[in-house]
Amino acid sequence: MKIFNAQQIYDADKFTIEKQNIESEMLMERAAVQIFNWMHLRMQGAPVKVHLFCGIGNNGGDGIALARHLQEHGYNIAVHVVNYSEKRSKDFLINLNRLQDRKVWPNFLNHVSEFPAIDKNDVIVDAIFGIGLNRAPDQWVVNLIEYLNASSAFILSIDLPSGLFMETGVDNTAGIIKANHVLSFQAPKLVFFLPETGVNIGQWEILDIGLDMEFLSGLPTQYELMGKSEVVPMYLPRNKFSHKGTYGHSLIIGGSYGKIGAVILSAKACLKAGSGLVTSYVPSCGYIPMQTSLAEAMVVVDQGEKELIDITFDIVPSVIGIGIGLGVSETTTKAFTAFLKHNKSPLVVDADALNILSKNKSLLKLLPADSVLTPHPKELERLIGPWKDDFEKLKKAKMFSNKYNIVLVIKGAHSMVIYKGIGYINSTGNPGMATAGSGDVLTGVITGLIAQGYASSLAAVFGVYLHGKAGDIAVEDCGYEALTASGIIECIGKAYLDLFYVPQPKQEKEQEEVEEAKS
């Protein structure tokens, strides 16, 4: 699913208005009706107090139009206009008049107003700012936002939580609504998925307000949300006459004394992702643990007993995953440097291999084109330097990926794959996956996909999706706390199966259950 910037949404509005020959307030009306339907379905006329806090732009206009529908259906509403500017939008005014025609008189708030009392059982509709916020709100509006956040009432934000910018970070996080639920128009917004701003969003849903789909799908975007429908076309089906050689030979290089487990996890995940053959390359202390815990993998040992000292082997792997459990000693750094100088295989680079690269930036140019790098935020910072906010982080990450011609996987709650200037945002995964070895599993999965013939950028996007889905499936049986890296590996197969699982329509399922009960 494409993620648009604010200008693209305004352009789509304009195009849609012309093509459908409608007035702009019609789009606002569609937005308000959709939100009303969403609320009405859940509230079923309950006499709960609904406070609507409406700005004076079109986001506020959505709130004012929603207030009319709620009032017409007998809801207990209080409308507060957050009068932060005199420049009221045309469609806001049209809807304000319509509301006043129905004898609903909003409470106009300004910098001297006392804020209305709010009970924790009330519902707040946040329609203060939408995608048009272009400077920090005035202090009294920040105070209001803090007041609403502190109320403990359920907050439903229209389009996005007020106070978030579409394309820059926020200096004063106190001025951002903490939304329990966000109803966003047509497509999710980038800020929903970034760690600094995503914390303001409990859940989000998309409402279709009928913007022209052809126009939207023709827009080039810098970000895409990768769900099942985006990744299924990447899947490479297996051929009946294939053999294990068809699906490549992965080499997992890593491990040091006390960290052989990381290589075991990675090699296991690589096999489970479908690599035809897997060999691990470890210091000699890793020989017995590898052989006893993973019968399917071959093992080649380094001359070093406790760490890698000279990475040489006589196999020709299709792809190499390197860095897990490696350590960053001087000896291993030398071995890794020498390896990079003669290596010809595609690479997936993780963990300590990333740390060695960060300390020796001149090595970056030795990476083969389209290598995959999988840093977590700290490793990323060591690679690209610190950033002021998530937007600057993404800018720097894109520059880094372009400069070295690599695929960058930024790991996190919504891992993002950066490739050729585009950010592919993952939609799977859960907080249970913040556990030891989870990253080693991801490296194994991506390596295993490249071995099978997936282009490295696709392997990264598809691998991150499968890894997250495996975690989502695993967590259903064990809960967040008990999820382990091995638990994720166990569900890689189910994550593949889920790609082609089509949920049965509810009615059909109910009918089947009735018939079963009868028989």
Q: Does 8 bind ligand LP7C6HRI (CB under 6 A)?
A: no
Distance CA 484, CA 10 (A): 45
Span from 94-102, 127-135, 345-353, 377-385 in contact with ligand LP7C6HRI (CB under 6 A)? 127-135
Distance CA 460, CA 415 (A): 10
Q: Answer with the entry of K ion, ligand LP7C6HRI, none that 84 interacts with (C-beta below 5 to 8 A by kind).
A: ligand LP7C6HRI
Residue at 417: amino acid letter: V
Please state the φ and ψ torsions of residue 388, each to the nearest 5 degrees: -85, -35
Distance CA 91, CA 103 (A): 19
Span from 83-91, 400-408, 426-434, 443-451 in contact with ligand LP7C6HRI (CB under 6 A)? 83-91
Q: What is the footprint of K ion within residues 116-175 (CB under 5 A)?
A: 126, 157-158, 162
Q: Judged by CB under 6 A, which of 4, 8, 62, 81 binds ligand LP7C6HRI?
A: 62
Q: Answer with the entry of K ion, ligand LP7C6HRI, none that 27 interacts with (C-beta below 5 to 8 A by kind).
A: ligand LP7C6HRI
Encoding tokens for residue 259?
């960290």
Annotate 484-505 with b (16+ C-beta within 10 A) or e (fewer).
bbebbbbbbeebbebeeeeeee
CB of 84 to ligand LP7C6HRI, least distance (A): 4
Query: Does 159 show up as a binding residue in the annotation?
Result: yes
Q: What is the footprint of ligand LP7C6HRI within residues 165-224 (CB under 6 A)?
A: 185-186, 211
Q: Does 412 bind ligand LP7C6HRI (CB under 6 A)?
A: no
Distance CA 110, CA 129 (A): 15
The nearer residue to ligand LP7C6HRI, 115 or 287, going by C-beta atoms, is 115
CB 465 within 8 A of CB 426: yes
CB 201 within 8 A of CB 168: no
Encoding tokens for residue 509?
């399922």
Distance CA 24, CA 89 (A): 11
Annotate 281-299 with b (16+ C-beta within 10 A) or e (fewer).
bbbebbbebbeeebeebbb
Distance CA 489, CA 470 (A): 7
Query: Does 314 show up as a binding residue in the annotation?
Result: no
Q: Judged by CB under 6 A, which of 31, 79, 251, 491 binds ligand LP7C6HRI?
A: 31
Question: What Å distances lie between residue 79 and 40, 55, 93, 126, CA to CA?
Answer: 17, 11, 14, 11
Q: Does 131 bind ligand LP7C6HRI (CB under 6 A)?
A: yes
The nearer residue to ligand LP7C6HRI, 85 or 284, going by C-beta atoms, is 85
Q: Does 139 bind ligand LP7C6HRI (CB under 6 A)?
A: no
Positive/negative CA dihedral, 277, 283, 287, 292: negative
The nearer residue to ligand LP7C6HRI, 159 or 350, going by C-beta atoms, is 159
Please state the φ and ψ torsions of residue 247, each to the nearest 5 degrees: -105, 20
Residue 431 Cα to chain centre, angstroms: 12
CB of 261 to K ion, least distance (A): 47
CB of 381 to ligand LP7C6HRI, least distance (A): 31
CB of 477 to ligand LP7C6HRI, least distance (A): 40
- Which of 177, 178, 201 is closest to 189 using CA atoms? 201
CB of 424 to ligand LP7C6HRI, least distance (A): 23
Query: Does 58 show up as a binding residue in the annotation?
Result: yes
Q: What are the residues binding ligand LP7C6HRI (CB under 6 A)?
A: 9, 13, 27-28, 31, 55, 57-62, 84-85, 89, 129-137, 158-159, 185-186, 211
Q: Binding site: residue ranges?
A: 58-62, 126, 130-136, 159, 162, 262, 325, 376, 411-415, 439-440
Q: Binding site for (6S)-NADPHX: residue ranges?
A: 58-62, 130-136, 159, 262, 325, 376, 440
Q: What are the residues binding K ion (CB under 5 A)?
A: 126, 157-158, 162
